Amino acid sequence: MTLQAPCAAAAPANDFGHRPAGALQIAEVGAYTFETGRFLPSVEIAFETWGTLNEAGDNAILVAHALTGDTHVAPTEADPGSGWWESLLGAGRPIDPERWFVVAPAMVGGCYGSTGPASPDPEGEPWGSRFPFVTIRDSVHLEARLADQLGITEFHTVIGGSMGGARALEWAATYPDRVGGVAVFACGAASTAEQIAFGQAQIKAVENDPHFHGGDYYGGTVPEAGLQLARRIAHITYRTETELSVRFGREPQGREEPFGWSSRRRGRYQVESYLDHQAEKLSSRFDPNAYIVLTEALMSHDVGRGRGGAAQALQNITAVPFLAAVDSDRLYFPEQSREIAELLPGEHEVHMIASPIGHDGFLTSPDQLADQMRRTLGL
């Protein structure tokens, strides 16, 4: 395993996803042939860790991020900044680093240190449009190589939400002998037609940006407008009509007047300003190509593919399951979590996060399920 500076895989001209020095470790996990047959001569996986691995190598927990997430689940000594799931990871919390060795890898194809479209090829040029199609299963195989290098013999639990939930479920199906427990938040056994449709709309938003150039825009103007439009589409699905109505209603943004003097010159409603803000935040930190790669990976999610269908695949899972849904989620409906529960061996409860905000409730309120997680997974 080689350790390098964070974001060493990113093209210097577009330093997407930069984290403070020392926050990331990067492991070279070798050449890899993807499910589609495309080949990379070298793949790097970026990750952060908390806690200490025991001699047996079996006190590990893998935390898988969602679509635009990263490795920074909780503060570290090198990077004390807030993490995206620190209500679950920390002293006295369900995932306590005093007891567990926690690993959070950045998914291949992204822009947070792992090999992705902005990474240099052997000649030093960004892969760009030549980067392979990545599946959730590909990411799990590569994460298994990382686990091997770290000396992990078994994960006590693999946990994730949304795309991270897809990765967790795939881990349990692909490596049943290496996963003792699996926690799947706000995700189904396979991406539905509607979820694929939302993903396709976001991909087209990026690809139709005039600066996209087929994915080979590095060294030039980044297709930010397309990525921002994709984020607007996605963010609407992450929230609920009720939340948007209560927070913003039909109120104008400050002194802006939505009823302008022409259709091309008007002010914004508050909800428009909110979406603009979310779009600008993402485009300042994320590579548009990586957004496409990871969105397509999530669209490909189907734990039953090549395994005789979801029912057969889930029947073969031996890990102790913990299933969670958000009661107001309109992207991954709770019914999809109940389907997983029905297809797994035995009887299992779907634990519900009560939140008015929709899908993002798995990020903002997972601590509601802390006691249930401890009891079910033995944390």
pLDDT tens for each residue of 180-189? 999 999 999 9
pLDDT higher than 60, residue 55: yes
Q: Which of 183, 101, 182 is nearest to 146 (CA)?
A: 101
Q: Look at residue 13 in the predicted model and tell me its pLDDT.
A: 40
pLDDT per position as a tens digit, 314-347: 999 999 999 999 999 999 999 999 999 999 999 9
Among residues 307, 345, 111, 108, the alpha carbon closest in space to that of 190 is found at 307
Strand-pair category, 39-50 with 101-105 = antiparallel
The response to whether 231 counts as a known ligand-binding position is yes
Average pLDDT, the chain: 93
Angle of CA points 134, 136, 142, to nearest 5° = 80
- Structural contact between residues 199 and 332, judged by C-beta atoms closer than 8 angstroms: no
Active site residue 359: yes
Check whether 85 has a pLDDT greater than 50: yes
For residues 40 and 33, what is the distance between their CA atoms, to the nearest angstrom? Answer: 7
> Is 284 annotated as catalytic?
no
Percent pLDDT > 70 in the chain is: 93
Confidence of residue 201 (pLDDT cuts 50, 70, 90): very high
Spatial CA neighbour of 357 closest among 326, 325, 324:
326
Rounded to two decimals, what is the model's pTM?
0.94
What are 231-288's pLDDT values in tens digits? 999 999 999 999 999 999 999 999 998 987 666 668 999 999 999 999 999 999 999 9
Task: Tell me the per-residue pLDDT of 23-32, one tens digit each, with 9 for 90 and over.
Answer: 789 999 999 9
Residue in 114, 139, 162, 328 annotated catalytic: 162
Average pLDDT, integer, range 358-379: 97
Answer yes or no: is pLDDT of 33 > 70.
yes
User: In which residue are the tokens 């004390």 written?
Assistant: 80
Active site residue 162: yes
Residue 63 or 20, more confident: 63
- 3-state SS of the chain is CCCCCCCCCCCCCCCCCCCCCCCCEEEEEEEEECCCCCEEEEEEEEEEEECCCCCCCCCEEEEECCCCCCCCCCCCCCCCCCCCCCCCECCCCCECCCCCEEEEECCCCCCCCCCCCCCECCCCCECHHHCCCCCHHHHHHHHHHHHHHHCCCCEEEEEEECHHHHHHHHHHHHCHHHECEEEEECCCCECCHHHHHHHHHHHHHHHCCCCCHHHCCCCCCCCHHHHHHHHHHHHHHHCCHHHHHHHCCCCECCCCCCCCCECCECCCEHHHHHHHHHHHHHHCCCCHHHHHHHHHHHHCCECCCCCCCHHHHHHCCCCEEEEEEECCCCCCCHHHHHHHHHHCCCCCCEEEECCCCCCCHHHHCHHHHHHHHHHHHCC
Structure confidence at residue 5 (pLDDT): 29
